[in-house]
């Protein structure tokens, strides 16, 4: 499997505390029509921590079946329990996902050897390609570069999503091994591609999929001048979608755009009035509302 382009970390819309599958189907169709390379259901943006195991499986199955091979599906099936990640990943394999996204095990802070064994066995037991997900701000543990390099030799470890805010780390990874790197931060997509990344797992593409896809395509083709124009225009959006914890701002923006109901599950809740107003001003300036 080749990972390249814009992958949308799709939100999980709720209505009356249940998954809103009608809204989710509409979002899937909009994404595919806009030409995204793939969808990433039930990742951080999909509020994986508050979905039940049953919902987790059902959302991934719904997205995979509705996409119907029209784009790649990288299912969010990570966890800090290896057995749990295996169980979720085996279900993703059974229903036809193309790959899984495996977050660094959080809270229990495994050693480098523990990380290597965790990712390796999840790949082997599921039989699906995996994308490592390095996000130390949420997990409390970075995947060491030498562990990424060691894992890159595994035939099922195909990429790493880098959401640690460091372009230099992309340099270090690509200096150490041959693995596909995807940016995990919309605002760092261009600099990461400039040093060798192949795309983005995007939050912003929930609302501007065509624009993010075009920016990535320009950059991958070496047309950084055109790519930068898109980046410059939408940088305020990239910034303000993280003004509070993701996915709160993106769901607020999508609610303002009448795409979904504005509903979260605790401990996530609605935005503060001042930050919500700042986000609305950015959306209005860009003509999105």
The answer to whether residues 40 and 7 touch, using CB atoms and an 8 Å cutoff, is: yes
User: For 99-171, where are the E strands, in sequence order?
Assistant: 99-103, 130-134, 157-162
For tokens 């509903």, name the residue.
263
CA 248 to chain centre: 15
Cα–Cα nearest to 183, from 206, 158, 169, 201: 201
**Catalytic status, residue 161:** yes
Q: Give 222's contacts (C-beta < 8 A, 6+ positions apart).
A: none
30, 53, 66, 161: which one is catalytic?
Answer: 161
Catalytic residue among 7, 116, 133, 234: 133
- The answer to whether 128 and 99 are in contact (CB under 8 A) is yes
d(CA 158, CA 137): 23
3-state secondary structure of 3: coil
Nearest to 133 by CA among 195, 40, 239: 40
| 3-state SS, residue 75 | strand
Active site residues: 133, 161
């Amino acid at each position: 499997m080749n990972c390249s382009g814009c992958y949308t970390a799709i939100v999980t819309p709720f209505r009356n505390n249940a998954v809103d599958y009608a809204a989710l189907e509409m979002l899937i169709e909009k994404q595919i029509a806009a030409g995204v390379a793939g969808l990433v259901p039930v990742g951080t943006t999909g509020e994986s921590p508050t979905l039940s195991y049953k919902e987790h499986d059902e959302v991934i199955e719904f997205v995979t079946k509705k996409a119907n091979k029209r784009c790649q599906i990288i299912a969010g099936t990570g966890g800090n329990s290896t057995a749990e990640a295996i169980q979720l990943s085996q279900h993703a394999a059974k229903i036809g996902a193309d790959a899984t996204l495996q977050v660094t095990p959080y809270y229990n802070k495994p050693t480098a050897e523990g990380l290597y064994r965790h990712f390796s066995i999840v790949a082997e037991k599921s039989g699906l390609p995996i994308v490592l997900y390095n996000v130390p701000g949420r997990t409390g543990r970075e995947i060491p570069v030498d562990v990424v390099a060691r894992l890159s030799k595994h035939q099922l470890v195909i990429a790493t999503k880098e959401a640690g805010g460091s372009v230099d780390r992309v340099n270090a990874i690509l200096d150490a091994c041959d693995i596909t790197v995807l940016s995990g931060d919309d605002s760092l997509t261009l600099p990461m591609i400039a040093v060798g990344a192949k795309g983005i797992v995007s939050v912003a593409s929930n609302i501007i999929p065509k624009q993010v896809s075009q920016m990535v395509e320009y950059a991958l083709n070496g047309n950084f001048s055109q790519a930068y124009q898109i980046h410059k225009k939408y940088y305020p959006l990239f910034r303000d979608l993280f003004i509070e914890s993701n996915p709160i701002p993106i769901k607020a923006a999508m609610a303002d755009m009448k795409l979904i109901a504005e509903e979260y599950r605790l401990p996530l809740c609605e935005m503060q009035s001042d930050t919500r107003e700042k986000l609305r001003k950015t959306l209005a300036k860009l003509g999105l509302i």
